[in-house]
Structure 1
Amino acid sequence: MNSPPSVEDYAAHIAATLNQFAAQGTRLSIPAGLPDRYQVVWAELRFAFDNAAAITSLLHHHGAEFAGPAFALLRPMNEALKRGTWIAFCASDDEIHKFVTEDVLPKRNLAADIEKIPPFDQFPMFSQQYVNAWDKFHSFTHAGSQIVGAYTMGEGIGPAFPENDIRAMLDHVEAIACMAIQVMVMIAGDFDRDRANEVLTELDRIKPANTRLAGV
């Protein structure tokens, strides 16, 4: 059995996937002069994708040594995707105005709002993530016990994240980057359905890194 790739090599494979996603994302656009909703959504989704790319770059160029900062970016990446999706499909004009002018979002479960509408009602990713991982994401971002534990489990003080956990994080990053582009497709499709369908078809052809490495 072949040994798993190093963190750096696996991140390079993830980066190759993200480059393919980005090539499709650049084909999407929204018309000028639209209400704030569209500009805010596009910014949030682009930020989610950029965080995915930043995590991948840290691990590609620095390996496990920079795993701490990479884990710390998981929450903002996921938060941007959730906010962008909620603003796109759930937020009222008043809620968007308050967010833009006061940086305030409603104090309710945004994931539950999203998962009332198709297609998100078929795969409750946002709520499952909140149950399974959100506390860890919060701890990573705010230098909590998850970071301290990983930095003190080795012989000295420094990052000692298991490589399997890092590779699993990279798989998650790849999936979030894809979803950010898919939500962009949903929005852009309101203005150019043919182009959106073309991009969606190309996205479906892109194999995840672990599938490519398995030769499937």
Structure 2
Amino acid sequence: MMDQSRLNEAIQFGKSLTETIQGIELPSDSRIDAAAVCYGMVINHFDAILLTLQNNIYASSLSLERIQLEALINGEWIRLCASEDQIESLLQKDKYPITTCKRIEQIEEKGAQTTEEWGGELKKYFDDNWKELCSYTHSSARHLLQWAAGHTIEPNYNNGELLGLLDRAERILASAIIAVATIANSSEASNKIEEIMSRKWPAISSAAMPSMIRQDMSLPLAGFHLEG
């Protein structure tokens, strides 16, 4: 069962972070509108992870991490990399014009040229965890091996696995919130975000806060690992 005190901490952290961008004014064009929707979905998925954890619906909690990560990747790619033609194609055809791996490569390349630094960690996070995240989302071995334990069919997720999920979901959320404040060019929101995250992760220096939060996302999946 999920540690309630840790869950309460995550609920408060998410609430405090999202409040920093409530009602914030964003420039309006197709790029920013589409990216902002993706960041909004990151927040929704984070809330859904919390809700399912609160209600011990752990299979759904773990299945949501992939789509939360995808929403962040898509928002970053649209905001930083996509051409106007690619955005129009996405909106018209309901399909991303390049693969997820290619989108990540472009995000990393663009970030290296600006202050939007990922330092290779988005790609590392994807490479290290994507197979397992897909397994959760598609009801594959990660779920099957944990439900079919012994002589009963019931969930058997360990606490370390759930805590790992929560840690990563918080970092994905933080990256999306940082992106929204960046789009808005709001020093007020940025200062509030920095204060909240400095309390959460005191080891990270304030000067390096945006990039280091992103670079600290690359945590291994907790819990058991599949053989082979």
Provide TM-score, normalisation by structure 1. 0.83
Q: Which residue of 2 aligns with 1:14?
A: 10
Whole-Å separation in 1 of the counterparts to 2:97 and 2:59: 31
Structure 1 residues 122, 6: closer, same or farther in 2, change over 3 A? closer
Secondary structure of 2:191's match? Answer: helix
The range that moved more, 48-57 or 112-121, is 112-121
Shift of 1:77: 0.3
Structure 1 residues 16, 166: closer, same or farther in 2, change over 3 A? same
Q: Which residue of 1 aligns with 2:195?
A: 202
Shift of 1:181: 0.2
Which amino acid counterpart does residue 110 of structure 1 have in structure 2? Answer: R
Secondary structure of 1:115's match? Answer: helix
Counterpart of 1:69 (choices 53, 60, 66) is 60
Shift of 1:131: 1.0
**Structure 2 residue 18 is matched with structure 1 residue 25:** no
Structure 1 residues 155, 174: closer, same or farther in 2, change over 3 A? farther
Which amino acid counterpart does residue 93 of structure 1 have in structure 2? Answer: E
Structure 1's unaligned 5+ residue stretches are 209-216
Q: Which residue of 2 aligns with 1:41?
A: 35
Whole-Å separation in 1 of the counterparts to 2:145 and 2:116: 35
Which amino acid counterpart does residue 133 of structure 1 have in structure 2? Answer: N
**Structure 2 residue 169 is matched with structure 1 residue 178:** no
**Structure 2 residue 155 is matched with structure 1 residue 159:** yes
Counterpart of 1:98 (choices 89, 93, 108) is 89
Give the conservation status (yes or no) of the 8 Å contact 2:63–2:136: yes
Say what the alpha-carbon RMSD is for the aligned residues: 1.9
Shift of 1:196: 4.2
Secondary structure of 2:78's match? Answer: helix
Q: Which residue of 1 aligns with 2:104?
A: 111
Counterpart mapping for 1:118-129 below 5 A? 118-129=114-125
Secondary structure of 1:112's match? Answer: helix
Secondary structure of 1:135's match? Answer: helix
Shift of 1:120: 4.4
Q: Which residue of 1 aligns with 2:78?
A: 87
Q: Which residue of 2 aligns with 1:58?
A: 52
Give the conservation status (yes or no) of the 8 Å contact 2:2–2:162: no
Which amino acid counterpart does residue 49 of structure 1 have in structure 2? Answer: I
Structure 1 residues 159, 23: closer, same or farther in 2, change over 3 A? same
Shift of 1:12: 1.7
Percent sequence identity over aligned pairs: 20
Whole-Å separation in 1 of the counterparts to 2:75 and 2:127: 20
Provide TM-score, normalisation by structure 2. 0.79
Secondary structure of 1:195's match? Answer: helix
Structure 1 residues 91, 150: closer, same or farther in 2, change over 3 A? same
Give the conservation status (yes or no) of the 8 Å contact 1:17–1:206: no
Structure 1 residues 104, 111: closer, same or farther in 2, change over 3 A? same
Give the conservation status (yes or no) of the 8 Å contact 2:178–2:190: no
Secondary structure of 1:30's match? Answer: coil
Count how many residue pairs are aligned between Structure 1 and Structure 2. Answer: 196
Secondary structure of 2:20's match? Answer: helix
Give the conservation status (yes or no) of the 8 Å contact 1:20–1:206: no
Whole-Å separation in 2 of the counterparts to 1:155 and 1:169: 27
